[in-house]
């Protein structure tokens, strides 16, 4: 996501705060949301040398590993301890991602897929409880579980005669931050917009012996829109 989009979202939140009008009180402390979320990875990786069995060592530059960007669904559950303070748990089902490597002389080469389950738990401060427009900020932790890793250095004529299976770390733990708002449109019902930044990284290893090849720093931005129900 471009920095201009991030600033535009922040400006929209600030402008909307001045237009807020009172909402009904006596709401339940429980809220649930459904969102469509655009997952935008940082696409950063360390440079490394890839050993091959036909053409010697191949030098791979930094940031050569890419993970596809995509829309995913999420569901989150929020509990308000006080009108201003709450906790939010964001869940989805394991997401499949395609991985490619930009190999000098060969271009973008597909190396396989993996799945990740990235629950996020945040503590949130809600600036304007009891209003129709309800901006918030949050900070917390992301715990990502990697599974179904099907990655390999592919067999390429003149470079590698047989695939070399690869693996990832089983988990990644990192800080998560968010900014967003709910806007009440009817009794119990709200629309939501939310931007999150999540720290996410993993080592890429040779599956046979666990030898580290490189480190990938994915650190995605997540731009979400959806609906919420306040019980």
Q: Of the candidates 18, 24, 96, 100, which has an alpha carbon nearest to the alpha carbon of residue 60?
A: 100
Q: Is residue 197 part of a domain?
A: yes
Domain containing residue 10:
3-16+30-230
| Overall number of domains in the chain | 1
Q: Of the candidates 110, 113, 98, 106, which has an alpha carbon nearest to the alpha carbon of residue 58?
A: 106
Instruction: Give the per-residue pLDDT at 50.
Output: 78
Q: Is residue 138 part of a domain?
A: yes
Mean pLDDT per 10-residue interval, the chain, length 231 residues? 46 42 68 98 93 76 97 98 98 97 90 97 97 98 98 80 93 98 97 98 95 96 98 96
Three-state SS for 162? coil
Q: Which two tokens stand for residue 219?
A: 């650190």
Instruction: Give the per-residue pLDDT at 55.
Output: 65
| Beta bridge partners of residue 131, listed in sequence order | 22
CATH code, domain carrying 67: 2.40.160.20
| Beta bridge partners of residue 64, listed in sequence order | none
Q: Is residue 76 part of a domain?
A: yes
Q: Is residue 87 part of a domain?
A: yes
Distance in angstroms between the alpha carbons of the first and the last residue of the chain:
33
Instruction: Give the per-residue pLDDT at 34.
Output: 98
Q: Is residue 190 part of a domain?
A: yes
Q: Is residue 23 part of a domain?
A: no
Instruction: Give the per-residue pLDDT at 105.
Output: 83
Q: Is residue 25 part of a domain?
A: no
Whole-structure pTM value: 0.84
Report the alpha-carbon distance of residue 165 to residue 108 in Å, rounded: 18
Residue positions counted in the chain: 231
Say if CB 126 and CB 180 are below 8 A apart.
no
Q: Is residue 105 part of a domain?
A: yes
* Placement of tokens 């990235």 in the chain: 118
Report the alpha-carbon distance of residue 121 to residue 106 in Å, rounded: 41
CA 181 from centre of chain: 19
Say if CB 5 and CB 48 are below 8 A apart.
no
């Amino acid at each position: 996501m471009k920095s201009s989009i991030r600033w535009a979202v922040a400006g929209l939140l600030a402008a909307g705060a001045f237009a807020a009008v009172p909402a009904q009180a006596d709401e339940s402390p429980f809220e649930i949301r459904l969102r469509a979320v655009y997952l935008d990875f940082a696409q950063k990786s360390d440079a490394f040398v890839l050993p091959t069995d036909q053409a010697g060592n191949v030098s791979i530059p930094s940031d050569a590993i890419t993970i596809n960007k995509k829309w995913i669904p999420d569901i989150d559950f929020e509990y308000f301890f006080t009108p201003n303070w709450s906790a939010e748990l964001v869940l989805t089902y394991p997401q499949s991602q395609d991985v490619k490597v930009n190999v000098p002389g060969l271009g973008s080469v597909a190396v396989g897929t993996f799945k990740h389950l990235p629950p996020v738990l945040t503590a949130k401060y809600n600036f304007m409880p009891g209003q129709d427009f309800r901006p918030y900020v949050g900070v917390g932790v992301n715990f990502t579980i990697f599974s179904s890793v099907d990655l390999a250095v592919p067999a390429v004529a003149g470079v590698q005669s047989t695939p070399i299976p690869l693996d990832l770390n089983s988990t990644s733990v990192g800080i998560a931050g968010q900014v967003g708002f709910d806007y009440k449109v009817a009794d119990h019902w709200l629309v939501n917009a939310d931007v999150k930044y999540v720290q996410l990284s993993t080592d890429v290893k040779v599956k046979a012996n666990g030898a580290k090849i490189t480190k990938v720093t994915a650190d995605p931005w997540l731009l979400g829109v959806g609906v919420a129900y306040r019980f």
